[in-house]
């Protein structure tokens, strides 16, 4: 039958026409829920790319935020670490830091950290970078452990506050007191006064002796800020006592028939007589056992010692010629006029001199004289031999 006029022809096969009888939209048609789209439609990939780009940007922003947060945390921790190190802590025991000549500030900072003066060498260097690096002189500095950076830098920027005081072989108590007077807070008079108070503590000083001459240990001592003369001298006396005990001073002196103090007096004279200024130490001390034997031989023979060094000590001189007028000096230390040993030692003897006094060489010598510029001495058992040796010395221009 022909369709009516004005009526659209409809194909009644499923899936055809404006709408299939099964309710599906036909190709190119509009269904109930809007325009139909193919899975291969070009619009869908563009929408998916925009979503992936947004997620990537969000991830980047999140990572940056986390990194910034971690950076701020690290910065805060670093600032806290620096402030904690810079402030120091409860002051600990004092230590002495020795700075060598030419040491860099980095090396000094390392020394301070190793001795626990500062908590961190790196932080202390940072402090110096921002506050000014002090010029550190070579020397010894006393600082407390756990010190603040500001306090440590102030100490290092000043001259060394720990002063070395050296007791050398052959120097006298008077000379040592003069050296002590160069240390801030000390004087020659106070040093000698303190020595008189410490002398009775020595096990080798006779009863009533107030001189520490010869009774102090040799070597280098570090005088710290606030340390008293008495403390310094006590340390020196203890060092000598320990050395004397190691040498068996008491036992060896008894074997010679003398007291330990007399042995020290002999050692002090040996120190002066066996060593000549300008001579090598090895040559000078090689003479020491023979010089000691001359002293003991003279004492045994009842002869005057006649040692120039004792006259020089009486005149507070160290070396130089001895004139006839000097030899006539009225002093218990003038062994040209006074028989026997001097009342006290005349200097601080070396270990070699002490050993020579305790273990003298075997021989009949009564005389000796310097006969070589290198310090060698000629020993004689008769006056005639001594006069011949003196003639040799004069020809060689020796004193």
Query: What per-residue confidence (pLDDT) applies to 45?
Result: 53
- The predicted model gives 111-120 an average pLDDT of 93
Average pLDDT over residues 43-64: 60
Please give the pLDDT value at position 2.
45
Task: Supply the pLDDT for residue 20.
Answer: 44
From the number of C-beta atoms within 10 Å of its C-beta (0-12, 13-18, 19+), residue 285 rates as buried
Neighbours of 353 (CB within 10 A): 30
**What is the per-residue DSSP string for 313-337?**
HHTT--SS---HHHHT---TT-TTT
Q: What 3-state class would DSSP assign to 191?
A: helix
Alpha helices in the chain (DSSP H): 43-87, 105-114, 121-131, 149-156, 173-180, 188-198, 229-246, 249-256, 260-274, 281-286, 288-301, 308-314, 324-327, 351-358, 383-395
Token pair in block for residue 56 = 């990537």
In a domain, 284, yes or no: yes
| Confidence tier at 34 by pLDDT (50, 70, 90) | very low
Does the residue 9 lie in any domain? Answer: no
Q: In terms of domains, do 129 and 173 share one?
A: no
Query: Which of 63-72, 134-143, 324-333, 368-377 is least confident?
Result: 63-72
Tell whether the model's pLDDT for residue 255 goes beyond 80.
yes
Cα distance between residue 92 and residue 143, in whole Å: 9
**297 and 355 fall within a common domain:** yes
At 104, which CATH number?
3.30.1490.480
Query: What residues does 214 pair with on adjacent strands?
Result: none
Domain boundary among 134, 156, 178: 156
Calpha distance 335→224 (Å, rounded): 40
Tell me whether residue 106 is in a domain: yes
On whether both 133 and 195 belong to a single domain, the answer is no
Please give the distance of CA 244 from its chain centroid, rounded to a whole number. 27
Cβ proximity of 296 and 270 under 8 Å: no
| Range with the largest mean pLDDT of 110-124, 234-248, 269-283 | 234-248
Do 197 and 131 reside in the same domain of the chain? no
Give domain status of residue 142, yes or no.
yes
Across 170-194, average pLDDT: 96
- If asked whether residues 186 and 260 sit together in one domain, one would say no
Task: List, in order, residues 6 or more apart from 63 with CB less than 8 Å away.
Answer: none
Tell which of 118, 139, 156 closes a domain: 156
Contact at 8 Å (CB) between 219 and 239?
yes
Asked if residue 367 and residue 330 are part of one domain, the reply reads yes
pTM: 0.75
What pLDDT, on the 0 to 100 scale, is given for residue 73? 52
CB atoms within 10 A of CB 349: 28
pLDDT digits (tens, 9 = 90+) for 300-318: 999 999 999 999 999 999 8
Residue 318 pLDDT:
86
Whole-number pLDDT of residue 319: 83
For residue 13, pLDDT beyond 60: no
d(CA 272, CA 288): 10
Say yes or no: 230 and 264 in one domain: no
User: Collapsing DSSP states into helix, strand and coil, what is residue 181?
Assistant: coil
List the domain range (segments joined by +) for residue 390.
249-395
Over residues 323-345, the pLDDT tens digits come to: 999 999 999 999 999 999 999 99
Q: How many domains does the chain have?
A: 3
Measured in whole angstroms, the distance separating CA 168 from the mean position of its chain's CA atoms is: 20
Say if 113 falls within a structural domain: yes
Residue 27 forms part of a structural domain: no
DSSP H or E run through 220: strand 219-223
The pLDDT of residue 47 is: 53
The region of weakest confidence among 34-38, 252-256, 259-263 is 34-38
Domain assignment of residue 184, yes or no: yes
pLDDT tens digit sequence for 336-381: 999 999 999 999 999 999 999 999 999 999 999 988 888 888 999 9
Instruction: Let me know if residue 55 belongs to a domain.
Output: no
Residues 105 and 203 in one domain: no
Is there a single domain that holds both residue 273 and residue 299?
yes
Contact 101, 142 (CB under 8 A): no
Whether 212 and 305 map to the same domain: the answer is no
What's the angle, vertex CA 20, arms to CA 18 and CA 24, rounded to 5?
100
DSSP one-letter string for 90-126: S---EEEEEEPTT--HHHHHHHHHHTTSSS-HHHHHH
173 and 241 in a single domain? The answer is yes
Q: Are residues 330 and 356 in the same domain?
A: yes
Q: Is the pLDDT assigned to residue 90 strictly greater than 80? A: no
Both structure tokens of 98 = 């020795």
């Amino acid at each position: 039958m022909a369709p009516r006029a004005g009526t659209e022809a409809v194909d009644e096969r499923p899936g055809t026409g404006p709408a299939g009888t099964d309710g599906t939209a036909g190709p190119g048609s509009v269904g109930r829920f809007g325009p139909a789209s193919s899975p291969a439609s070009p619009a869908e990939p563009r929408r998916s790319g925009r979503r992936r780009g947004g997620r990537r940007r969000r991830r980047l922003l999140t990572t940056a935020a986390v990194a910034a947060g971690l950076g701020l945390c690290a910065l805060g921790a670093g600032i806290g670490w620096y402030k904690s190190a810079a402030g120091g802590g409860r002051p600990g025991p004092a230590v002495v830091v020795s700075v060598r000549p030419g040491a860099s500030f980095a090396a000094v900072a390392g020394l301070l950290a190793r001795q626990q003066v500062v908590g961190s060498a790196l932080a202390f260097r940072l402090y110096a970078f921002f506050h000014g690096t002090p010029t550190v002189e070579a020397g010894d500095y006393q600082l407390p452990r756990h010190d603040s950076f500001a306090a440590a830098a102030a100490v290092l920027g000043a001259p060394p506050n720990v002063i070395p005081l050296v007791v050398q072989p052959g120097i006298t108590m008077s000379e040592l007191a003069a050296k002590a007077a160069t240390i801030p807070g000390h004087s020659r008079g106070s040093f000698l006064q303190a020595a008189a108070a410490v002398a009775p503590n020595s096990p080798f000083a006779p009863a009533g002796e107030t001189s520490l001459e010869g009774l102090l240990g040799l070597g280098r001592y570090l005088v710290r800020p606030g340390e008293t003369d008495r403390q310094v001298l006590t340390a020196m006396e203890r060092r000598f006592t320990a050395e004397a005990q190691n040498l068996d001073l008491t036992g060896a002196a008894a074997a010679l028939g003398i007291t330990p103090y007399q042995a020290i007096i002999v050692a002090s004279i040996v120190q002066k007589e066996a060593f000549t200024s300008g001579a090598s130490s090895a040559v000078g001390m090689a003479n020491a056992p023979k010089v000691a034997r001359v002293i003991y031989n003279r004492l045994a023979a009842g002869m005057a010692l006649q040692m120039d060094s004792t006259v020089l000590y009486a005149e507070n001189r160290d070396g130089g010629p001895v004139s006839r007028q000097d030899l006539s000096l009225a002093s218990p230390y003038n062994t040209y006029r006074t028989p026997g040993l001097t009342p006290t030692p005349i200097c601080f003897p070396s270990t070699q001199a002490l050993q020579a006094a305790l273990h003298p060489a075997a021989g009949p010598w009564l005389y000796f004289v310097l006969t070589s510029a290198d310090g060698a001495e000629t020993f004689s058992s008769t006056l005639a031999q001594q006069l011949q040796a003196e003639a040799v010395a004069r020809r060689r221009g020796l004193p």
